[in-house]
Structure 1
């Protein structure tokens, strides 16, 4: 309810003396009143006889419990008076009307109008209307709403009409509550990604609108859009479709020759709608003109979809791609991409003519752990032709092109909640070298493990001491390994060369404290290996060489080994004084000594003649070449030494309000390891193995990762480069001879913290086998060029405000690699390269980036890419250029960002040598 303000119009009544004969007037009035009246009287006569009563049946029923109360059944009598033929007037509205206004709400009973002024609001059924002024005619069941002027004369408080989920913001509106029809002037509404403005809109009913002189755009500002589609006649069905007459495109208020006799725009509220994908035009020096990335998108259901894309070149080359994504909440999600291309270079009859078929299959699947915590299934597949990313006509993916390895893994695991607990997993793996075209696969690998058993633990469950800590476990590993190449992939010969084996291991171990400060462990390991194939080696006189003949059938060998270790932790602190900036440095050392012994298993070895005379006899094991190897012919008796170090400093915090000192990690690991062979004879085998040194740390607020390593050999070498049983220091050298060393630096910095929840822009490049960063350039998705080449986390108004406050958004990635080789006194830098990638916002709408590097050994610039991008509000324009190298190319794109209008674009790319 709203209060109604009293008006300022009053009726003034004044009594004035009448200059007439008052007596005559009064007399005449009384006379006329009495003369016009009628009087009635009734004569009541005395009754002489009583009216006799008729005997009636008593229909009165006594109410139980109260004899004075009764109910009487009366016969219904037909009313002789007919029902009134005049029907009562129906209410003017079918529901309750709520309204309010800030200035006033006026009700005119005579004209049957309700006027609401200034911030007026009206609510009726599913209609919500807010405006500067609202006038409701409750006789005609109509309402009018319009804008009002403020103190400066400018129009304000435009109407906001909402019915259900449809919202319209016009200059004025006229609406009928009964017919649901409306007439709207200068309406503005949002429908999906579209913003629509029409001079006149007629609402026929809840589902059909007719528009006149309408504009369609995806620009944020519908009143001043940078582009729009102009049409005079429109039929608009909210949430479904828009059908127009003659439609032409206007850019920057300049009409273009881009026109259609009619147009159809889907407006489905569904997350995805099936539809055609228009191809883009391109040309190539080697394959002619082409249409690329044309096809159809199938929105099959809410759980999965399918995209079919194709390319065609005038020289006969073609390509097909099938992309599908699927998901079911709380169960699983994934995507599958299958790509095939038939490539023809040049023309038949020319010397450079070639024809080949390449393909690539990518599958990613993950299972939600909530669906079944005791089992899991995952897949990450990337396999196909080794040359796919180098020769594909539809992949501008430098990171994948420079990568030399494709890998895949499909795994299923299940845990059985028995006692003891049993875990089982099945895994299929694939590794492919794109340079050598060699493929290694395991189809599949079976892993079964039984949880540890502590047979000597008492009822109290306490595992303390050498005896009670004794435990045993069972592990089974079965593999089916295949080594092949591209030409034999999935052909019968590929499966004939498989290697199959099963390995059983039973480790028996214990651990305990020794002298309070030392941690000791000891283990005994039993291993049994089963093979389905072995070899029989002999000298073949016909071929004049030693050959291995495959022997099919079950065979097995058994081995065992023993190992133990002893380690401790030593803490040391170096204090520098309370007045120093560096208060102290803490050094933590974790030394350990290990011993391992494996006996000789000569019983699994046979002999063969290595020449035609049969005099040269050598030993071999029939299990050689097996998937789990062969038993050793000599015993192993080794001592191992390991030392792990960490260095941490305490410094004065720059924040004077903090009491505690700040901790800084100087070296988070510095490891040294070597071993000593107790069975070494000093001639054929040397006692000490090289010392391996490795370490790493983080600098500059953990933004720079530094890793280094070196191999130090205590023995000298002769003139031929062979290690001899002479220490290097005794041969006139240093204590150790550095045979190799390496160092890598990785540094990533930006003007603001990176959003870790945001997906990296090179996700597809990483899936293809490339890097997740942009050191090798950004991945260009030719099927969807609307995606930015840059990190879009800083787009929008925040970028503009930061720019004008002298905060220029930027980021940089830096990588440096150095490798030193001195295995044969060459003292040579084998690798020395630096790579840099940087991106920056030059202006609020301009972005630029570069990826480049330099190889100091080869003395040349590594892969280089220049990137530029312009934000044109509803449009996006970008240019990327690789100026030199085998992948030299350039690309230019300008198009509308909206997915609904993604086919309105210009995309031009140079042809490469592929």
Structure 2
């Protein structure tokens, strides 16, 4: 026995039998060799014939010397093979080991002992522990803890094989059979942390546990909850199967138990499985099970979720959700839902039955997929009352939105000379208040790129003639105007309108007097209709009757326009020693002229009374999708002026030499026009608009006003008299508006995440000024931004930095069309979220309408981080959307169905 001390000793050995009687074996081999050999003297006769190499090559019989060589006759050799079997190495590879205190090798006992920070590596096995004892005769290794100077156990074993890591109190492992016995093991399997009193490892793929607990809590020794079971069989990376299982919360067993349980541990991103429903009750629909169904993980590129709801009064809902993606090609999602809503009971006065549906589809194509063709879709259509009557969710932002819109488009480019492109688009716009639907199915657009007939081949386009260009545009529509009740019914298609518009713009641009840019264009339009009208007086009905005329008809118009503009720069210097060193003013004035002749030839007359003496003009193209030709000529001059103001100020940072630039006004615009051919009211009202930003672009403000130079009579009609000549000011302000938006947070410079992505697809807002969505399908998600969990820091409450964010919006409108001088709208909305403590989060969305004198939509939000659990409470205390929602559940996705949710919706 030898002893070796080493602070960091590393040895590689190949295990062989360590004790051999080498001298005896050699001596015995000599005697055995002599005993079975023939002895010859030195007068051996020469061989009579020699073996010819050529004869061996042609494989002829070989003449052998009569004197036989006994060593060549193995068939008649009487010596038996050695019966001593050499032991093979029991390990298939080399072992590396080290220890900080000492490494002890006991050859007689076939033991190697590693002590203090011991490490052993063999193939895919890594073992670290306080003490490791390896028996290389039994092919076993033992690892355990050691005691420190205070008598406490330290340096617990860490056993790693492949991706599986186990941290027990002690372990016994056999290298040959791969079996192991583990005491008080701790391991991580998927999202589970598992602790067992005794673990038996059958092989690399099967483990049996006794006296085990498993949880998603990070602290497996002191978890806030766990599942207790006496028997477990688990296959790493695949599944866990348990016997009788009881749920324990805060160390207290609960009545929640299962006779057996199965938990998948697939390493795949998603697996198919049952979605457990949540229980709710409603005052007018009874008890319900909501959002129960099945999730189909069809492939890595797409999935499918089928869910349903059922209420005891007969109401039910069915939904289908699917997401799909193909990298570098496209991605999208589909959400379809149908509901049969029954309110109250049959026979009661408030009984009602409605069927509502909603279809959402979003598709986007990667720009790398096809540079010549693109396809995209954004669909949100359905029943107008869906977001107000749905039994599945209270989507505040969507229910307050009055418009649903959709668009599906495909476009492609033809690389011809000149280049051309074509696109097909289907659009849908739905007003949920009036229930009117405008739809085009489809819209055709075809265009040919600009052609420069006078440009030379080198591409230089300078001057009036070389810049002359023309192109061709075609726009066609198949349009429908219908209502919610007739959507996609035969009546909808009978009222379809079809039209085409051809346009050929001829334009050029050039400079005059070096600083003035001039652009001029001549536009030719031709419109085709397949539906026109005819008006005539009906003597029997004593009214004017409008008759639809089916058939092809067309009209042609042309118009011209010319624009001239320049840019003027001005700088006002106040001195480098001033706070405001200089102000820069940029003006962009513009003057335009447009002319359109009269197309009176397309007008007819009809009688407005029975005598036929009262006549009125009309055109058969009235009400067409591309408009109608104008009867009166237009010859007008337009004026517009845009301004920007910038300032250079002394920077607060004294180390900086250059002044700081700030924007005073992003834009300040004035616009009006004068009709030369008009006999009265030739001037159009002056439109003033502008916008700016403050506080490092956190606060944005936009304003606008309409100034009318003409006066009005007692009935509120404009008269051909300037307001200043009627005893008033130069302009009469008829309307004005101001909007302000302000978003700040404790973490400046970080953009806020899109918290309500589903609400945005539904037509709501991206922010939470109208509250967070109470979508049952996503209620398990946090209502606030997801942040990484941090360690609790003990600090004084009032000195600690609390994360927060706030969104502020203000709107003011003024109306004075008929000298009413009235504030028509004045409201403010605020949304704020904060972390009251590291575990408590709170938020509020509210506002006030100063005109209606009432509080706008208000929502209170609370959330508690319970480590492995999450608790949330949302409350809308008053209004048409008054409701509350309480949720508590496990964060982990594999146990997301372990939850309790309670909702109370007053609109149900």
Query: Would the TM-score normalized by the shorter structure come out above 0.5?
Result: yes
Question: 1:505-557: CA deviations, max 9, x gaps?
Answer: 11111111110111111111111111222222222334332222222222221
Could you say which residue in structure 1 is the equivalent of 2:292? Answer: 294
Question: CA separation of 1:680/1:4 partners in 2, compared to 1, >3 Å: closer, same or farther?
Answer: farther
Question: 1:427-459: CA deviations, max 9, x gaps?
Answer: 111111111111111111111111111111113
Could you say which residue in structure 1 is the equivalent of 2:316? Answer: 318
1:696 alignment partner, one of 688, 691, 698 = 691
Question: CA separation of 1:674/1:114 partners in 2, compared to 1, >3 Å: closer, same or farther?
Answer: same
User: What's the offset of the Cα at 1:349?
Assistant: 1.0
Map of 1:874-893 to 2, 5 A cutoff?
A: 874-893=868-887
1:523 & 1:802 partners in 2: Cα distance?
Answer: 71
Are 2:424 and 2:443, in contact at CA under 8 Å, matched by a contact in 1? yes
2:316 & 2:796 partners in 1: Cα distance?
Answer: 48
1:801 & 1:525 partners in 2: Cα distance?
Answer: 72
2:263 & 2:613 partners in 1: Cα distance?
Answer: 88
Number of matched pairs: 863
1:814 & 1:790 partners in 2: Cα distance?
Answer: 17
User: What's the offset of the Cα at 1:893?
Assistant: 1.3
Question: 1:687-726: CA deviations, max 9, x gaps?
Answer: 1000000111111110011010000001110111111111
2:229 alignment partner, one of 231, 241, 249 = 231
RMSD: 2.3
User: What's the offset of the Cα at 1:794?
Assistant: 6.3
Moved more, 656-665 or 453-462: 453-462
1:680 & 1:480 partners in 2: Cα distance?
Answer: 37
Could you say which residue in structure 2 is the equivalent of 1:902? Answer: 896
Question: CA separation of 1:6/1:910 partners in 2, compared to 1, >3 Å: closer, same or farther?
Answer: closer
Asked if 1:59 is matched to 2:57, the reply is no
User: What's the offset of the Cα at 1:798?
Assistant: 8.0
Asked if 1:106 is matched to 2:108, the reply is no
Moved more, 547-556 or 443-452: 547-556
Asked if 1:748 is matched to 2:781, the reply is no
Could you say which residue in structure 1 is the equivalent of 2:709? Answer: 714
Could you say which residue in structure 2 is the equivalent of 1:43? Answer: none
Could you say which residue in structure 2 is the equivalent of 1:763? Answer: 757
Are 1:594 and 1:640, in contact at CA under 8 Å, matched by a contact in 2? yes
Could you say which residue in structure 2 is the equivalent of 1:789? Answer: 783
User: What's the offset of the Cα at 1:497?
Assistant: 1.0
Map of 1:328-407 to 2, 5 A cutoff?
A: 328-407=326-405
Question: 1:598-634: CA deviations, max 9, x gaps?
Answer: 1111222222222232222222222222111111111
Question: 1:473-517: CA deviations, max 9, x gaps?
Answer: 111111111111111000011011111111111111111111011
Could you say which residue in structure 2 is the equivalent of 1:260? Answer: 258
1:89 & 1:456 partners in 2: Cα distance?
Answer: 97
Asked if 1:732 is matched to 2:730, the reply is no
Could you say which residue in structure 2 is the equivalent of 1:26? Answer: none
1:911 & 1:720 partners in 2: Cα distance?
Answer: 48
Question: 1:644-693: CA deviations, max 9, x gaps?
Answer: 000111001111111111000010011110000011101xxx11000000
Could you say which residue in structure 2 is the equivalent of 1:658? Answer: 656
Question: Counterpart of 1:910 in 2: which secondary structure?
Answer: strand
2:270 & 2:590 partners in 1: Cα distance?
Answer: 61
Map of 1:560-579 to 2, 5 A cutoff?
A: 560-579=558-577
1:271 alignment partner, one of 269, 272, 275 = 269
Are 1:380 and 1:408, in contact at CA under 8 Å, matched by a contact in 2? yes
**Which sections of structure 2, spanning at least 5 residues, go unmatched?**
8-33, 35-39, 57-64
User: What's the offset of the Cα at 1:153?
Assistant: 3.7
2:146 alignment partner, one of 142, 145, 148 = 148
Question: CA separation of 1:231/1:804 partners in 2, compared to 1, >3 Å: closer, same or farther?
Answer: farther
Could you say which residue in structure 1 is the equivalent of 2:31? Answer: none
1:533 & 1:710 partners in 2: Cα distance?
Answer: 40
Could you say which residue in structure 2 is the equivalent of 1:83? Answer: 81
1:827 alignment partner, one of 821, 830, 853 = 821
Are 1:564 and 1:596, in contact at CA under 8 Å, matched by a contact in 2? yes
Question: 1:574-605: CA deviations, max 9, x gaps?
Answer: 11122111111111000000000111112222
User: What's the offset of the Cα at 1:151?
Assistant: 4.1
User: What's the offset of the Cα at 1:768?
Assistant: 0.7
Give the TM-score normalised by structure 1.
0.91
1:389 & 1:383 partners in 2: Cα distance?
Answer: 11
Question: 1:189-242: CA deviations, max 9, x gaps?
Answer: 111111111111110111110001111111111111100000111111111111
Could you say which residue in structure 2 is the equivalent of 1:69? Answer: none
Question: 1:825-884: CA deviations, max 9, x gaps?
Answer: 000000001111111111111111111111111111111111111111011111111111
1:122 & 1:235 partners in 2: Cα distance?
Answer: 28
1:122 & 1:148 partners in 2: Cα distance?
Answer: 16
2:165 alignment partner, one of 167, 170, 174 = 167
1:911 & 1:713 partners in 2: Cα distance?
Answer: 49
Give the TM-score normalised by structure 2.
0.92
Moved more, 709-718 or 525-534: 525-534
Question: CA separation of 1:76/1:367 partners in 2, compared to 1, >3 Å: closer, same or farther?
Answer: farther
Could you say which residue in structure 1 is the equivalent of 2:806? Answer: 812
Could you say which residue in structure 2 is the equivalent of 1:177? Answer: 175
User: What's the offset of the Cα at 1:751?
Assistant: 0.6
Are 1:874 and 1:896, in contact at CA under 8 Å, matched by a contact in 2? yes
Question: CA separation of 1:413/1:102 partners in 2, compared to 1, >3 Å: closer, same or farther?
Answer: farther
Are 1:799 and 1:809, in contact at CA under 8 Å, matched by a contact in 2? no
Question: CA separation of 1:727/1:6 partners in 2, compared to 1, >3 Å: closer, same or farther?
Answer: closer
Are 1:780 and 1:789, in contact at CA under 8 Å, matched by a contact in 2? no
Map of 1:205-244 to 2, 5 A cutoff?
A: 205-244=203-242
1:220 & 1:6 partners in 2: Cα distance?
Answer: 37
Could you say which residue in structure 1 is the equivalent of 2:488? Answer: 490
Are 1:809 and 1:840, in contact at CA under 8 Å, matched by a contact in 2? yes
User: What's the offset of the Cα at 1:57?
Assistant: 3.6
Question: CA separation of 1:396/1:479 partners in 2, compared to 1, >3 Å: closer, same or farther?
Answer: same
2:790 & 2:498 partners in 1: Cα distance?
Answer: 59
User: What's the offset of the Cα at 1:802?
Assistant: 11
Are 1:874 and 1:897, in contact at CA under 8 Å, matched by a contact in 2? yes
2:237 & 2:543 partners in 1: Cα distance?
Answer: 79
Question: 1:300-338: CA deviations, max 9, x gaps?
Answer: 111111111111111111111111111111111111000
Are 1:207 and 1:238, in contact at CA under 8 Å, matched by a contact in 2? yes
Are 2:792 and 2:838, in contact at CA under 8 Å, matched by a contact in 1? no
1:799 & 1:621 partners in 2: Cα distance?
Answer: 78
Could you say which residue in structure 1 is the equivalent of 2:28? Answer: none
1:694 & 1:426 partners in 2: Cα distance?
Answer: 36
